[in-house]
Amino acid sequence: MDSAKVIAEIEAQVNAAMDEASRAIAFHESWRPMAYDEELHKRMGNSFAAGTFVVIRQALRREMLLALLRVWDDQQKSLSLRRTFEALRIPAVLDALIEKRTKDRTGSKAFDKILAEHIAGSCTDYIKKAGDLFDKYWKKGEASHVMQHLHVLRNTMLAHNQLAPQRVKGKDARDDEIEAFYRDTRTIVECLLHAVHATALDMNDTQGVYETYARFFWESVRGESTPGHPSYRAPFDSTGVEQ
């Protein structure tokens, strides 16, 4: 086995996972106010503008789920967390990764030994944490039904339009389970970035950026039946008289 080649592949996989996870965050945090902001819902009201509001909400949710699932794809020529963890769980590959991380650090043999031990422990811990979360959703993991549901959803509604949609065996994934899956996927990517690239990325910071963008955007959004809309139209009461 060419460990250097395997590590290069792992590094590319982790970079791709970071890109998709960041994309999922952008879509999810832009969508969240549309799902949960009651004041925004009141401003939209029963308006013609609400029709496009619903279209945008559905599109953002769709793109978020597709980006999230691309992190978990398992095609030969695509990003594959399964292949990444299979490789990282091979002792020779892990040793080669740690050696690469510790190479040419200080030139002091005593300090380099201490540093190597620290990096080895840190790498192992991050890989185990990420691997445990991966196992939770993969195949027979305790939350594998979430993955199964989302794959069926993608294949029948999001990416394809089948005439005879599949059914999920067992329970469907609820919104709270999808939210947990979203956050666990972020944690997996963060841990892999630590272990493979020695990069400390807190995706809560990424979330905060897109939350701010979304807040400033959605604060100005309202339907035409709400005062402040450029095409404001006063609503009618039950008798058809303008209020």
Phi and psi at residue 122, in whole multiples of 5°? -65, -45
Task: Categorise residue 169: left if φ over 0, alpha if ψ from -120 to 50, beta otherwise.
Answer: beta
Helices 3-36, 81-88: axis angle to 10 degrees equals 140
User: What gap in Å lies between CA 71 and CA 19, rounded to an integer?
Assistant: 9
User: What gap in Å lies between CA 179 and CA 44, rounded to an integer?
Assistant: 25
Q: Determine the pLDDT at residue 169.
A: 41
Place of tokens 């510790």: 102
Q: Which two tokens stand for residue 8?
A: 């290069």
DSSP 80: B
CB 124 within 8 A of CB 191: no
Q: Determine the pLDDT at residue 108.
A: 66
User: What gap in Å lies between CA 242 and CA 103, rounded to an integer?
Assistant: 76
pLDDT, mean of each 10-residue run, the chain (243 residues): 90 96 97 93 92 94 94 86 95 91 68 82 96 95 92 73 42 77 98 95 96 96 92 70 50
Q: Determine the pLDDT at residue 200.
A: 93
User: What gap in Å lies between CA 215 and CA 152, rounded to an integer?
Assistant: 32
CA dihedral 76, 77, 79, 82 (to 10 degrees): 10
Q: Determine the pLDDT at residue 173.
A: 53
Q: Determine the pLDDT at residue 107.
A: 62
Phi and psi at residue 15, in whole multiples of 5°? -60, -45
CB atoms within 10 A of CB 198: 12
Task: Categorise residue 174: left if φ over 0, alpha if ψ from -120 to 50, beta otherwise.
Answer: beta
* pTM of the model as a whole: 0.85
